[in-house]
Chains A and B, each alone.
Chain A
């Protein structure tokens, strides 16, 4: 029983109904004055916050990763690990023992000293209490905490432990979380205590305004920007207008750039600069359910890939700013991959392939019948809450109908989408990949296809053992050269077997006031708002003093 989970609709409704506070009040468009210290960075975001609990609330979890909580290591804009709480780290040959040396002068916001016991406590606590971190007990055999150092011993070789454990887990103070038995219930002020560069200042629930102050005693040196004000739950109309009028400094949404239709509204603004970067995630992917009858045949999948009008999708979805997708699935931002040919629309070849497979239109109703005479009617499962997906679905239905393939559309919200995927009912599955998703599993999106990784937002449709061996090989080596040719093999595999096709590669565009120097883009931390850019912007005294923000 599928029903409609309109995350995308909520997105739209958000942009239409979210508690839109007009920064600095339209009625009082304050001119930008450049003043000295006490600069304020104003960030408009459509993300919605329900409770101030980093473990329970999706949005606050992101803000904690960004500002208030530190992790053992951080990934910089070229995805290379850089030290944060862990000054240095090392792993044994077969990546089963990992040791981290902690920074000596790290302090919690309430002044207490950060010790290795906190790190050990965090991993044990999360493993025990938080269902989202259920992988910790199965992966980590034992954690030894000596003053200034933490040693993890794993159950099996895991070369990407640095990324999964090092970056994902936000270190929690033991003296606070120790006595919270149910981490997901309720919200208290002390939950916001971390050891990151910013302190949680205050949150006005009705107006949806949250402020963070700079943490002067931060072990990595105080950040440049004094205060950061987040305007949550704002609809995109209001954000666009505020950007144009200069009442907010930049737009932030985790794992996605500024929506393309709204970019058109900003073209005329002279006070804005647009920072673009090739996107690590793919916003529209068409996955094939290899278990189903026709779908298991590569020729049929090839025919389907030839039927789609990629140029049309690029124009409709990305306003023409995207590029034709490669059959290697992984976008250009990932260096270690082999060059693969681009996917093009070729309806003639597509019809020829289908005719060769004896899938022709026998009763003349415009829909082809498959080998045993039943009309070819594929079930397309789509997420109804993802940005632009209803545009893509309407285009796909049209494209496939033009080559004689009938489509029954089923849109579903996240929970129903996952239920249907797991039941393997749908022939075609439309979804998106996030930058972090591409890093999952063995990387390069393999997390989405590996059939051993069931559940969650993955389609897990590849049962082929060669693919599984390839993933295990990647996981067990840390040597960059072997990794490069293994990933090359993976792109070949994608191009050859087409488990899923990217409907378009597109850039990620972040608008922000042009009085800022160009910030570095770190898509893992969500775009132009990241630790590096906050540091860089601090020096340029270009902010205006804390304008009275309504």
Chain B
């Protein structure tokens, strides 16, 4: 089993004196290699939080996240980073996923720069071709590209460090139908070629049915006792990292 989450809890504290609002309670999930697991549910139920947990961006209050059997939060910072490099995330808002002041080339080179892996222009061109884009886009700013293009470059960026799991947090909800179709087909294609497994978070049931091998509803996964009807703002508003 590639990625395993067993009874993880996560809650957010609001402001100085408020008690914690629990969002997820004893969530368990398993993901096999080369498979796509879908997580569905309405907004405000904790899907994004689960995505961040799996990607190792935020730390679970209770429970463990195992990658190939090892807890990604155990060990020194260096080891943890190495493990976390295996799991990457694509975000819902394409234009917010890139630093607006950087050109696309700088953004694409960032992962390798951080992990000190050498990246030749040829690698970049090949990755861009993999997602169906020419290299001319690299000289432009994120604000000069469309949503679809940005999302594809985000994928290309992750492919440069060849992760084993990619968490897709509603990647196409901001895009229109045709672009969404293209991205979905692209993802399926990448999965076939490289065997990367996906966690697909969406609120669109049909899309999940088309894309994923198995799907779970966030409602059944997470059964928090103090079920607080949280509005969408509450869940995403304060990420106490």
Chains A and B touch (C-beta atoms under 8 A apart): no
